[in-house]
Amino acid sequence: MRTTLFALLLSPTLLAAQNEAALRQAFEGKLVSVKMAMPGTSRGVEVHPQQQAPVNFRQVADRIKDFGTALKIGDQVMVTKVVVKKDSHIEFQLGGGGFGTFGDDAGSQWISADTESETAREKALKDSIKTAPGPTRRKQLEKELANARTARERENDKARAEAAQANAAREANLRVKREQGGSRFNIRYKDGIPPEALTPEGVMAALANYVDFAATGAKATAAAAVTPPTAPTGTGGLSQLKKGLSVREVEALLGPADTAGEEQQGAMTVMKRSYSADGMKVTASFVSGVLVDFVITPR
């Protein structure tokens, strides 16, 4: 029984659900500010933290052009939903998550004009012209046919104008809905979401260049988590230092810490340690035992 329960607790599905619950508790209902314009669509902005250029801003520009701007730089907005999608990406939804979710398109279909190509009256007149008893009668029927065609085109023009007006109102309504529907970040990983990414700190690190988490009390840590390391290349353990390592892994590279302490940043406890290696001083920050920031300076 214990073995079965232990296996269940370690199952990827259950762990993902537990991590999603932690992310929801950390972010949902909290206010953040965006550092970039965001499109008014549920497609949102794709973020690939593992790539050198995490965001394709040309794609963002295309989506803004197609769907308008839902959030402008500096806008403060509520985190309305955080969803872990299997093992591929994390949805970080803002102000409703973006227009285009289920039910948003109801009643907004394109309206086509109901036009007629040829009426039954026109067809009958064309047949009558062929069998008209004389030129006088034929001219009379041809005049009636021309009048019928004119009347039909007049009705068709009226139907087209009404459809165009309805579609213009539809587009205006969609623009308003897109502006009011919020947007989202889709944080994507190539080979599955790593464990450190399924934490509040991991999400903040991935979005720190695009979201200001000041209102959540974690601005400093989130911004620091994406600070590029200043380590010189090829200098022993320093060259292998990278964010995401555990305390044990860092100390296996750099040796025991010279100093150790803790400080509170909002709701998070940040462990600060300093090391000496290769004639350099390393100042490191850990959250939940994971390296989120480090700075290397000459001693």
What's the CA gap between 194 and 186, in Å, rounded?
15
pLDDT at 153 over 70: yes
pLDDT at 240 over 70: yes
CB 266 within 8 A of CB 218: yes
Q: How far is CA 267 from CA 33, 207, 214, in A?
A: 18, 18, 12
Predicted pLDDT of residue 235:
45
What's the CA gap between 182 and 99, in Å, rounded?
7
What's the CA gap between 151 and 146, in Å, rounded?
9
Token digits of residue 232: 């010189």
For CATH 3.30.1450.10, the residue range(s) in the chain are: 228-298
Q: Flag the least confident range among 148-162, 226-240, 243-257.
A: 226-240
Q: Where does the pLDDT of residue 55 fall: very low under 50, low under 70, confident under 90, or very high at 90 and above?
A: very high
pLDDT at 177 over 80: no
Predicted pLDDT of residue 10:
40
Q: Where does the pLDDT of residue 4 fall: very low under 50, low under 70, confident under 90, or very high at 90 and above?
A: very low
pLDDT at 2 over 60: no
Predicted pLDDT of residue 221:
42
Q: Is the dihedral of CA 213, 217, 219, 225 positive or negative?
A: negative
Mean residue pLDDT of the chain comes to 80
Q: Is the dihedral of CA 30, 284, 90, 70 positive or negative?
A: positive
At the second CATH level, the architecture of 228-298 is: 2-Layer Sandwich (3.30)
pLDDT at 32 over 80: yes
Taking only the tens place, the pLDDT of each residue in 241-272 is 887 788 888 898 899 999 999 887 665 678 89
Q: Flag the least confident range among 3-17, 162-176, 184-198, 264-278.
A: 3-17
Taking only the tens place, the pLDDT of each residue in 113-139 is 788 888 888 899 889 998 889 889 989
Specify the higher pLDDT residue, 55 or 171.
Answer: 55
pLDDT at 18 over 70: no
What percentage of residues in the chain have a pLDDT greater than 70? 77
